[in-house]
Amino acid sequence: MLGLFLPFIRIHLWFKYGLALGDIDCYNDHVNKRQEEILTCVVDHFIDSHQPMSSSMVLDRLSIQLSSATVRQVFSVLDQGGYLAKLHTSSGRVPTDKGYRVYVDRISDVGRAINLDDYVTDQSYFMKFRCFFDQFLLNLSKKIPYVCMVWMNERALSDIAMLKYVSISSQYGLVVLFHRVGIVSEHYIRFEMDVSGCDFHQLTQWLIGQIHHDKPIKMAQYTDVETHFLQVVLQLLSRQSMLNATADHRVVKNVTRCLGLSDYSDKASVQQLLDVLDDNSALDRLMMDTVDPMALSVKIGQELNDSRLIHSSFISIPIVLDTGCVARLGILGPRRMDYVSIVQLLSSKETLAELIQV
């Protein structure tokens, strides 16, 4: 019977609301083209202004041939689907977590990672990495008004694959370290005694065994001079492999500018953001809680699993060097974050080259 009246229902809806029956998808967990266009308009407006959007504002912004009644009907469908919400009975609409998710998932040209291969040399290794990332975040902070942070992977940065010793004089030498991320670093060392008579090849082999965690040869078999050589070089290796003992592995910038946004106009919202930034375990969880550790990730509101961040969003992207993830970049801000601009910024080689200039 319904099939008999379906054409008349379509005609009635078209004349009354300007809607085809296919526009009403509240019973399906997806949006059609018209609904997506209006949802995108609401999200863009809220990102720009932090204000709800009415049906008349949609018509003005989109310049499409629709009636206010049609837009209100689409609003109703998007409300029922959980994509939009009304703050007050007579107010316009604002996007929900689900609405933001649809918006973000349709952003094209998403980059997978920030590649440092063309920018990092041995002159920016280890402690210089922190200065490197510090400047990178400073440059990034000039372009976006959100909290910017880098989480450094100390294990990846400090792992040593091989070493070589070059004798300069009886008490001075050069240790060349070949790191697993493809960087070579040079370290000059001084001895308290004459080590020129040592078998450097044999001693270097023992040290390589230590690096690779092979069964060590007892140091007792070596002479006092050889033992002194090994101890001095081991101290160097220990310093290089314990980056986290000498430096904080997080760099955070732009907190004050982010708190200046209208989203943080009350004391509670400011305190919640500051609490998260003071919670090291929460920051580590934000950085590492991603389905694909080698791809850009966007989490919105409740997806962050933290009651302090239900009105926030977090974007993270790996930073790679020689195919290994040496760090992750994180951007924390309100749910109405300008996702498109950030994704385009992180996907543009020209922009990244500008940001990475130290």
pLDDT of residue 217: 52
Which residue has tokens 């499409």?
64
Packed helices 2-17 and 68-80: angle between N→C axes, nearest 10 degrees: 120
Q: Own/partner pairs for 305-308, CB < 8 Å, 24+ apart?
A: 306/276, 306/282, 308/272, 308/273, 308/275, 308/276, 308/282
- 49 token code pair: 């202004």
Dihedral angle sign, alpha carbons of residues 300, 304, 309, 313: negative
- Please state which CATH number belongs to domain 114-153+249-355: 3.30.450.40
Cβ count near 131 (within 10 Å): 12
Write b or e for each residue in 59-98: b if 16 or more Cβ atoms lie within 10 A of its Cβ, otherwise e.
beeeeeebeeebbbbbbebbeebebbbeeeeeebbbbbbb
Q: CATH 3.30.450.40 residue ranges in the chain?
A: 114-153+249-355
Q: What is the DSSP pairing of strand 147-152 with strand 114-115?
A: unpaired
What are the E-state strand segments in the chain? 84-86, 93-95, 114-115, 147-152, 160-167, 172-179, 184-190, 250-253, 297-300, 312-321, 324-334
pLDDT of residue 21: 37
Q: Which CATH number fits domain 157-245: 1.10.20, 1.10.3470, 3.40.50, 3.30.390?
A: 3.30.390
What does pLDDT average to in each consecutive run of 10 residues of the chain (358 residues)?
Answer: 44 42 46 91 94 90 83 93 84 92 86 74 56 86 95 74 90 86 80 93 86 60 90 83 55 95 94 95 88 86 95 93 84 95 87 75
Q: Which residues touch 96 (CB under 8 Å, ≥6 apart)?
A: 82, 83, 84, 85, 301
Q: Which CATH number fits domain 2-105: 1.10.10.10, 1.10.10.60, 1.10.600.10, 1.10.238.10?
A: 1.10.10.10
